[in-house]
Structure 1
Amino acid sequence: MANTEDTQLLSADRPGSYLNGDSIQSHSGSKSKMSEGWFTHVDKFLDNLRLRNELVRQFFAELLGTFMLVLIGDGAIAQMQFFGGTALGAGFLNVNIGYAFGLMLGVYFTASVSGGHLNPAVSLAFCTLGKLRWIAFPVYMLAQFIGAFLAAVMVFAVYYDAIDKHDHNRTVVGGTAGIFATYPKAELSWGVGFVDQLLGTALLMAGIMAVTDNKNSKPPNGLEPIFVALTFFAVGISFGYNFGYGINPARDFGPRVFTAIAGYGSDVWTLNGIQWWIIPTFVPFLGAPVGAWVYYLAIGMHCESPHRGQGDHAELLEAQAPDAAEKSM
């Protein structure tokens, strides 16, 4: 009887199991022992697959989350281009929605493991705030670049026939390279491009800080990724014209490397003789810390801590739990 009860309890914890109370009771005690033993072996096997090193777990989480972000975002750009959407019409709105949903899913996938940064500029900003160890920063950044690169490979594979039909020569200006990386409008100057990426990334990071600040009016637990995605969407629909969706070095540089390999030529680096790739690759590393510290100095440090009176008020960002504060792109 004890064996039967133990096995029933085991099956109850396994959704979708073929075992149920009636079938177990009809089996002999030896059969129940056999089933329980099989599950024990499966549990041991799965436990052996579990990654023990925290940085390794975070690496794969950031890789997967960034892959999800860029896969859905670049896929939305490809659909817009091949369906004939215009940059100022419904097609561009679809791209903004696609990237917002990609970010939301990516953060939900990874938040409990790595915080769901999905953006090396965001990771750097959290390092400057003391919310991420500096030793983890290169791990996060490498994972994010690899995830974005692999996503570009998948989008290229899925849309290969369409790309070959519409842009057989693999062009940059007016071609399909814009599916994978950002390229400036013809009239854009270097200075305006710098300000564009600085402001966009700062706004994104400030929004992330507000959404995840326990001392402020943050959304209910579990809804933070939705509001982070809405912040991302707001930046895109306001400042997406000049450079498209930059504000993320991994999202831009990883796919840009892939396009260089895939036959788009040197123009992916030196469009019209100008090294435009430098702006979306490096400026966000300045913009995100600026946005984070502007929020903290203007708002965050002045909010009353929920732990006030318990001796913790002097701690800078104690109210922002690491697993919540790092839920961002």
Structure 2
Amino acid sequence: MRSFTSIPSVHVSPLGHRPDSSQIQHTLLSCLLCVWVYMSSIDDSSSKQWDASLGMAGKDLESRKEHLQVASRKVHEDGDHVTLYPNNWSKYREYIREAAAEFLGVAILIIFGAGVDCQVVLSSNTGVSATPKGDYLSLNFGWAVGTAMGVWVSGGISGGHINPAITLAFATYRGFPWRKVPVYIFSQVMGGIVGAALVYANYFHAIDIFEGGRGIRTQKTASLFTTFSLDYLTNVSCFFDEFLGTAVLVTIVFGMCDKKNMPPPDGLAPLLLFILILGIGTSLGMQTGYAVNPARDLGPRLLTAMVGYGKGVFTFRNQYWLWCPVMGPILGAQAGALFYDAFLFTGEESIFNRPDAAARRRHLHASQEQGSHPTPVIGLYKSRNY
């Protein structure tokens, strides 16, 4: 009997005769194959679970396909085998899993974040709710939960970036493939649009009551989905606010990813991100709404323009949307990553730790003097005697 990972059963006759040795050997080999496939998948995931959850993956599709191809070649005598793809959909899905994970992660982030914004602000109107349903701390908890859940659902597949600023920082300093960057960012922005659309569909009746009439849409409720600064801030101050918040975010994320520092145990990345976002919100979030994520702002902003808020969401303060919640986080992430790598990180993948020409010449010269053959390792030459 064929199945994807089936184990042939050992048949015992009604008279109690034991199966012959070939059947037992065949069964044991099948069991060992299944255990090997399972343990290989566990070892692979456990060794990179933390890195993947914060964006260090990037080659999951290739490694997964190679692993399945090796397993599929181990065919038993009776035809039992591990199938590379059980159907056509599973084959095509391999090419979109990472993008879909980023899309879903950002959508979940916005559902929790914009959802708590709507609930807290709209419930302050007695026509919507008899009593208020939350305060500023509630807002920060909602966004922190959204971040944690978004990373939890996408981390093992795409790396759980759910933030274009994070994606660009990992591409610059951690070797994340640049060819994947446009796909990730597009998926993240689309996830922001869809997440905001779902929240808007859930609360549009309450928005009508809060605004004072059906179809009335002003900045008061647009700010439930996207960010606007307080009136006393200049655009330069707004930019610095977002720059600082994202620099703190990425510096700590890079620290948590550093295996030579104090990386947390496997599986705790979302919990630590919950604490991190809660901390940023309660300390740096008042003035601009702490976007610290271009997709979190741009996606919902596009949605508000589509549902009746008009072009005002983009013309506010001379393209505030571009310089503050988009460019501020992107440049802040680069600055935070640069600072961590320049002064703290010692891993080979960073541009700050690549050997220069003089170091390569010294290693090559030392190897030649010792009469050994130099073996290049991460740009250096490590002596190896034959």
Which TM-score tier does this pair reach, normalised by the shorter chain?
0.7 to 0.9
User: Any idea what the Cα deviations from partners look like across 1:243-264, whole Å, max 9, x if unmatched?
Assistant: 1031110000011011011001
Counterpart in the other structure of 2:288: 243
Instruction: Map residues 79-118 of structure 1 onto 2, 5 A cutoff.
Output: 79-84=119-124, 91-118=135-162
Q: TM-score, normalised by structure 2?
A: 0.64
Counterpart in the other structure of 1:17: none
Asked whether the equivalents of residues 117 and 224 of structure 2 are also in contact (C-alpha less than 8 Å), the reply is yes
Counterpart in the other structure of 2:190: 146
Q: In structure 2, what is the Cα distance between the partners aligned to 1:63 and 1:141? A: 9
User: Any idea what the Cα deviations from partners look like across 1:8-34, whole Å, max 9, x if unmatched?
Assistant: x9xxxxxxxxxxxxxxxxxxxxxxxxx
Counterpart in the other structure of 2:240: 195
Q: In structure 1, what is the Cα distance between the partners aligned to 2:137 and 2:295? A: 22
User: Any idea what the Cα deviations from partners look like across 1:269-315, whole Å, max 9, x if unmatched?
Assistant: 122x5321111022211111111121122222289xxxxxxx99968
Q: In structure 1, what is the Cα distance between the partners aligned to 2:150 and 2:117? A: 18
Displacement after TM superposition at 1:54 (Å): 5.3
Asked whether the equivalents of residues 270 and 276 of structure 1 are also in contact (C-alpha less than 8 Å), the reply is yes
Displacement after TM superposition at 1:217 (Å): 1.0
User: Any idea what the Cα deviations from partners look like across 1:41-93, whole Å, max 9, x if unmatched?
Assistant: xx9996432255755221101001111111111101011112229xxx95111
Structure ranking higher on relative contact order (CA contacts 8 Å, 6+ apart): 1
Counterpart in the other structure of 1:214: 259
Q: Call closer, same or farther: CA 1:314–1:165 in 2, change over 3 Å.
A: same
What amino acid does structure 2 have at the position aligned with 1:298? F
2:109 is equivalent to residue 69 of structure 1: yes
Give unpaired runs (5+ residues) of structure 1: 10-39, 304-310, 317-329
Asked whether the equivalents of residues 170 and 177 of structure 1 are also in contact (C-alpha less than 8 Å), the reply is no
- Of 296, 299, 323, the residue aligned with 1:254 is 299
Asked whether the equivalents of residues 211 and 228 of structure 1 are also in contact (C-alpha less than 8 Å), the reply is no
Counterpart in the other structure of 2:362: none
What amino acid does structure 2 have at the position aligned with 1:2? S
Q: Call closer, same or farther: CA 1:299–1:159 in 2, change over 3 Å.
A: same
Asked whether the equivalents of residues 152 and 255 of structure 1 are also in contact (C-alpha less than 8 Å), the reply is yes
Instruction: Map residues 10-89 of structure 1 onto 2, 5 A cutoff.
Output: 47-52=87-92, 56-84=96-124
User: Any idea what the Cα deviations from partners look like across 1:119-154, whole Å, max 9, x if unmatched?
Assistant: 001000000013310000000000000000000100
Asked whether the equivalents of residues 207 and 228 of structure 1 are also in contact (C-alpha less than 8 Å), the reply is no
Counterpart in the other structure of 1:172: 218
Q: In structure 1, what is the Cα distance between the partners aligned to 2:310 and 2:170? A: 36
Asked whether the equivalents of residues 66 and 147 of structure 1 are also in contact (C-alpha less than 8 Å), the reply is yes
User: Any idea what the Cα deviations from partners look like across 1:95-141, whole Å, max 9, x if unmatched?
Assistant: 11111111111111111111000000100000001331000000000
Q: In structure 1, what is the Cα distance between the partners aligned to 2:268 and 2:376? A: 27
Give unpaired runs (5+ residues) of structure 2: 1-7, 13-26, 32-79, 126-132, 349-374, 381-386
Counterpart in the other structure of 2:9: 2
Q: In structure 2, what is the Cα distance between the partners aligned to 1:4 and 1:299? A: 62
What amino acid does structure 1 have at the position aligned with 2:9? A
2:236 is equivalent to residue 229 of structure 1: no
Identity level (%):
34
Q: Call closer, same or farther: CA 1:55–1:295 in 2, change over 3 Å.
A: farther
Question: More displaced, 143-152 or 160-169?
Answer: 160-169
Q: In structure 2, what is the Cα distance between the partners aligned to 1:91 and 1:51? A: 47
2:318 is equivalent to residue 274 of structure 1: yes
RMSD over aligned Cα atoms? 3.0
Counterpart in the other structure of 2:353: none
Displacement after TM superposition at 1:166 (Å): 1.1
Counterpart in the other structure of 1:13: none
Q: In structure 2, what is the Cα distance between the partners aligned to 1:315 and 1:226? A: 37
Displacement after TM superposition at 1:214 (Å): 1.0
Q: In structure 2, what is the Cα distance between the partners aligned to 1:177 and 1:4? A: 68
Q: In structure 2, what is the Cα distance between the partners aligned to 1:296 and 1:172? A: 44
Paired residues in the alignment total 271
